[in-house]
Amino acid sequence: MNPAQPDPVSPQDAALIDAFVQALWLEEGLSTHTQSAYRSDLRLTARALPCPLWQAEATALGLVLSARLNTGQTSRSVARQRAALRRFFAWLRREGHRADDPMTSIPAPRLPRALPQSLTEAEVERLLQAPVVTEVLGLRDRAMLELLYATGLRVSELIGLSFGQISLAQGVVRVTGKGNKDRLVPLGDEAAHWLARYLQTARPALLGSRQTASVFVTERGEAMTRQAFWYRIKAHARQAGLSQLPSPHTLRHAFATHLLNHGADLRALQMLLGHADLSTTQIYTHVATARLKMLHAAHHPRG
């Protein structure tokens, strides 16, 4: 926004939005990215209303959300904005800023059930073998990809790893996930092997005389970022000849899907992924079922 122009969000709305996000951070330990998303969604709605957001009624809020659907925003994006508004107005009522909650009468948009993008086991193997491990960056990337596929970590959890969270001797990694909840995830022999090689040779070469607690570092000796890792994954996917360019999250989906395909228990998978609700994990049963249907159609004589 141009500093010469006034902020279209009223000072009281801005103050209440900031206080709401701060309260969520204190209660749930939200990441910086999630805090920013809440602020952005709420300020977007505030700018679209003819009155202050905190005083808005259900009719005006419903019209804003409907207009976004009609002008091309996806139902998933609008659902996310509606969820932010629901939490904001529930907080306003709880804190005594208003007596009612206008969001209780606004229905949620219908969402298509999208299956997570995944890779076959053969495609994962090609991706894992794409980095040139005789080079320090290639060895680092191989270790990161192996660890991601072996543990199902979120990318934010992977790049945020510090030495105190990893035990090569016990073969586990302690992960601090959403809501500051800790979980222990097995490393597996292959991931532990590549991680040990990276820590012994590539990481010291990348760091030089610099020091950091971060496990995975860039050429500058700084902590790895999501953007830098995504760029590296896409480069390796092209090298591996994959038809689709995976995101860092794709290996998390592959981890979950392949475990289910090999008979893993859904509750165990929920613990490994760090899902608070089993319903979040259950989408992977649809992925696994879709895979089984493809195999049946391809190989069964009556498929």
- For residue 90, the tally of other CB atoms under 10 A from its CB is 14
Which pLDDT score is estimated for 1? 47
The letter for the amino acid at 78 is V
45-100 per-position pLDDT tens digit: 999 999 999 999 999 998 888 888 777 777 778 888 888 999 999 999 999 999 99
Give ∠ CA 19-22-26 in degrees, rounded to 5. 135
Where, residue-wise, is CATH 1.10.443.10 in the chain? 121-299
How far is Cα 2 from Cα 176, in angstroms, rounded to an integer? 38
201-211 per-position pLDDT tens digit: 999 999 998 99
> Which CATH number describes the domain made up of 121-299?
1.10.443.10
Token code pair at residue 178: 């959403």
Closest CA to 47 of 33, 68, 29: 68
Share of residues in the chain with pLDDT > 90 (%) = 42
Task: Output the DSSP codes for the chain.
Answer: --TTSPPSS-HHHHHHHHHHHHHHHHHH---HHHHHHHHHHHHHHHHHSSS-GGG--HHHHHHHHHHHHHTT--HHHHHHHHHHHHHHHHHHHHTTS-S--GGGGSPPPP---PPPP---HHHHHHHHT-S-TTSHHHHHHHHHHHHHHHH---HHHHHT-BGGGEETTTTEEEEE-GGG-EEEEE--HHHHHHHHHIIIIIHHHHHTT---SBSSB-TTSSB--HHHHHHHHHHHHHHHT-SS---HHHHHHHHHHHHHHTT--HHHHHHHHT-SSHHHHTHHHHHHHHHHHHHHHHH-TT-
The yes/no answer on whether domain 11-105 falls in CATH 3.40.47.10 is no
- For residue 32, the tally of other CB atoms under 10 A from its CB is 9
Closest CA to 175 of 151, 197, 196: 151
Which pLDDT score is estimated for 198? 96
Least confident of 51-60, 100-109, 193-202, 234-243: 100-109
Paired residues of 166 in beta bridges: 173
Which pLDDT score is estimated for 276? 59
Q: Which residues are catalytic?
A: 154, 178, 249, 252, 275, 284
135-174 per-position pLDDT tens digit: 999 999 999 999 988 888 888 889 999 988 999 988 888 8
Of 288 and 206, the structure prediction assigns the larger pLDDT to: 206
Of 243 and 53, the structure prediction assigns the larger pLDDT to: 53
Token code pair at residue 47: 């700018």
Confidence of residue 278 (pLDDT cuts 50, 70, 90): low
Token code pair at residue 203: 């990481």
Token code pair at residue 205: 């070469």
Of 74 and 237, the structure prediction assigns the larger pLDDT to: 237
Where, residue-wise, is CATH 1.10.150.130 in the chain? 11-105
How far is Cα 54 from Cα 42, in angstroms, rounded to an integer? 10
